[in-house]
Amino acid sequence: MRILCIGDVVGSIGCRFLRDKLPTLKKVKGIDFVLCNGENSADGNGITPSSANYLLDSGVNVITLGNHSFRRKEAYDFIDENPFIVRPANFPDGTTPGMGIVNVDTGRKIITVINIMGNTFMDNNLDCAFDCAENMLKKAESNIIIVDFHAEATGEKRAMGYFLDGKVSAMFGTHTHVQTSDAQVLPNGSGYITDVGMTGTIHSVLGVKSEIIINKFKTKLPARFDLADGECKMECVLFDIDDKTGKTLTAESFRIE
């Protein structure tokens, strides 16, 4: 089973670039299943029903989210009702739309996708990410389990990778929008990358016009984050997973421009 994980899709420009590149990539790489982080897929931050449907119609099987999951109120019912969108599992159950885990029957295999948010530097009071991960694993219906760990600190991501090693097929980090060079198979057979990267405008600061972010750092004043235009990239990691064991055989990170 070849599973592609795509870095945070930023705005409509990122969505369009994904739609342009994904079909050919799936054929060339023989990809069976596609995940992407879509918490920034709407222009102006967050996700909307429109941006989510655009990604799903473009060939994405499951959309994961993060700290901007509930930025747009118009998405609440959609997140709650669509089983192919997962929000961080450590948000409170009962008061938060959606679910933190999905078990997808592909016809060939069930694939479990789990979304968890980190605690360090994330300005949240969510449940402990590590305890949450253990609880979610009990709900997995497959030996093929993919985790999107949406977190800021590289140390927390590395720790989670080793914590999950041998318990999941693969973990990919999101949130920082900068692809790391450590795609690998950990000692007990789990695929791993600290951060898969971003899908959006190359010459930008995490997809936003660079001059806006520079001015914000200089003045310390709030600013509207207008998205940058121009050439784009789609950063990904591809995990080749053994169907029988659920272990990752290879982990390959790359960028499409």
Q: Which residues are catalytic?
A: 68
Angle value at C-alpha 56, between 21 and 3, nearest 5 degrees? 65
Structure-block tokens of residue 159:
């720790």
Gap between the Cα atoms of 132 and 101, Å rounded: 11
Per the rule left: phi > 0, alpha: psi between -120 and 50, beta: everything else, 40 is alpha
- Would you say how long the chain is, in residues? 257
d(CA 204, CA 200): 9
51 neighbors 41 (Cβ within 8 angstroms): yes
Tell me the two tokens of residue 98. Answer: 């959606």
Helices (H), 30-167: 49-57, 76-81, 129-137, 154-164
**In DSSP terms, which residues pair with 200 in a beta bridge?**
233
